[in-house]
Amino acid sequence: MEPAEGIRPRVAVSSCLLGAPVRFNGGHSRDRFLTAELAEHVDWVPVCPEIEIGLGAPRETLRLQRSPDGPRLVTRRTHEDLTAPMTALAAERAAGLADVDGYVFKSRSPSCGLHGIPVYAESGAAADRRGRGIFAAAVIAARPELAVEDEGRLHDAVLREAFVERIFASARLRALLAGDWRPRDLVAFHARHKMQILAHAPAAYREIGRLVAAAGERPREALAREYGRAFLAALATRATVGRHVNVLQHCLGMIAPELDPVRRADLAEVIASYRAREVALAVPLALLRHHARGAAAQYVQAQYVHVVQARYVRDQTYLSPYPDALRLRNHIPA
């Protein structure tokens, strides 16, 4: 079973990153990972806030300018203040993007940049280089649970894997809640995601477990809101090597009764190699998934409980949180 099969996240993206000629100079900033790899697995929702507020391409460049009320978005040469229309557009867009699972913003943009955007004094000197684009800041304020990154940070293997994992988890949750679900469906959804949550946030794992245990006692809409916030917040917490090892060992313990001593030792050794940062996470995961599938296929009446445990491991989204073709767990941790 592939937990990510059939799921296509909806991801908002700065249009220029897909190759649209909407940059200030009339060009684009096509990103290879987004257009050549991720595009096969997601549905893009292109956004260019500069074009949408009526600026052309090419156009006068913009910058953030310091003010008593916070950074303002102004044109560099004519000093036209575009903060109000850009903020209004962001509020409108955030409301219309309620069904997106993530957003990839253009880095270093005074409207869309997430990190390190210069904020200038009126004199023209850069007073602060810790700004955030006006449009991006407003969207994030309206959708704090949304997975966001810029294309520059997605060149980092760890950040790329974390972002893709979050958008696929969000898409699975969105698909569940869009249907005629019942509390038992949410319980089943959570059961499949337990190891994935545990790898990110052990404390949240316990708290969400208590929430799900009382699923039948809560109004459905309130339950969906609370679970959704907790689930997405848990996956926003960075997974660590130690937490991955904990989950791998936990899964090994559940399938161990169905493995012979040699296979148990091999899997334990590979997990130890990952903990020592000698192999990528993909290596113990591939072996664990192989053994879980094999053990789950068995049916020995006297050992039925062990087979059930193996099937539980086999069906965990942790083993395939997104399409394997993306090859995002092939880096050796630092």
Q: Which residues pair with 65 in a beta bridge?
A: 72, 120
Q: Which two tokens stand for residue 168?
A: 């696929």
Whole-number percent of the chain with pLDDT over 90? 87
Q: Judge contact between 105 and 136, C-beta under 8 A.
A: yes
Predicted confidence band at 145 (pLDDT cuts at 50, 70, 90)?
A: very high
Decide: 91 and 30 in contact? Cβ < 8 Å: no
Using alpha carbons only, what angle is made at residue 157 by residues 151 and 161, rounded to the nearest 5 degrees? Answer: 85
Q: What is the pLDDT of residues 179-238, one digit of tens each?
A: 999 999 999 999 999 999 999 999 999 999 999 999 999 899 999 999 999 999 999 999
Closest CA to 308 of 296, 318, 319, 316: 296
What is the pTM (predicted TM-score) of this model? 0.94
**Which 3 state secondary structure label does DSSP give 316?**
coil
pLDDT tens by residue, 269-298: 999 999 999 999 999 999 999 999 887 666
Tokens of 87: 């903020």
Average pLDDT of span 160-170:
98
pLDDT digits (tens, 9 = 90+) for 5-19: 578 999 999 999 999
Task: Quote helix, strand, coil % in the chain, to nearest 5.
Answer: 55, 10, 35
Give the residues across from 44 on adjacent strands. Answer: 11
